[in-house]
Amino acid sequence: MVPEGLQYTVEHEWIASAGDDDVVRVGITDFAQEQLGDVVFVQLPTVGDTVTAGDSIAEVESTKSVSEIYAPLAGEITAVNSDLGDTPEQVNSDPYGSGWMFELRLSDAGERSELLDAEAYQAVVDGA
């Protein structure tokens, strides 16, 4: 099931407002973590990094493979979930909660209109 109220990318990332209109929290979807299998390591971006939409900025290593995480939008990394260093399995157990990866201050909040809603993302998953 794809949670309502979030936005999504075709790369299986979710985006949620993080209090401030210009800051979003990002993680990977339940579908993505299921495809990866047991997550054993997460390499996160560095706070202060400026990223462009589509940049490879993080990695998730699982028992099956290593997958790139892409910046869903342009901006500056303002926070990372350092808990994932000790407990990367949170990506599997709570992908929309404690398994979040980083927060991003958007260069242009208007770009969020290009993201998918839950229904459109479900169609992507159904076609996978």
CATH number of the domain that 40 lies in? 2.40.50.100
In-domain check, residue 127: no
In-domain check, residue 46: yes
Give tens-digit pLDDT for 22-32. Answer: 999 999 999 99
- Phi, psi angles (nearest 5°) of residue 110: -65, -20
Does this model's pTM top 0.85?
Answer: yes
In-domain check, residue 126: no
What's at 107, amino acid-wise? S
pLDDT at position 128: 67
Given a cut of 90, whether residue 21 has pLDDT beyond it is: no
In-domain check, residue 1: no
In-domain check, residue 98: yes
Residue 10 CA to residue 105 CA, distance in Å, equals: 21
Number of domains in the chain: 1
